[in-house]
Amino acid sequence: MKDLIELIAHKLVANPDAVTVTETEEDGEHRYELRVHQDDMGRIIGKSGRTAKAIRQLVSSAAAKNDIQAHLEIIE
């Protein structure tokens, strides 16, 4: 799952070296925090949050396929 998030973020941003994804697990739910360069926040969030919503949907779909619960947060 972490690799999927990193792959998507690397393709969207201008500074792929600044992309970091951290994973934590609490009560059976996987939580992923995506951090990108400040200049790339607009690319990750997208117009009206559409890109962020699409990334979250992909993560949720992949998590459901693996029978886990996952949540993605984009940290500024």
Task: Write the CA distances from 8 to 11, 26, 27, 28, 36, integer angstroms.
Answer: 5, 24, 26, 24, 12
Q: Are 6 and 55 in contact (CB under 8 A)?
A: no
Here the CATH number for the domain that contains residue 22 is 3.30.300.20
The length of the chain, given as a count of residues: 76
* Lookup: tokens for 67: 């029978």
pTM of the model: 0.90
The 8-class DSSP code of residue 13 comes to: -
Give, for all 76 residues of the chain, the pLDDT tens digit.
999 999 999 999 999 999 999 999 988 899 999 999 999 999 999 999 999 999 999 999 999 999 999 999 999 8
Query: Domain range holding 54?
Result: 2-75
DSSP β-bridge partners for residue 23: 32
Number of domains within the chain: 1
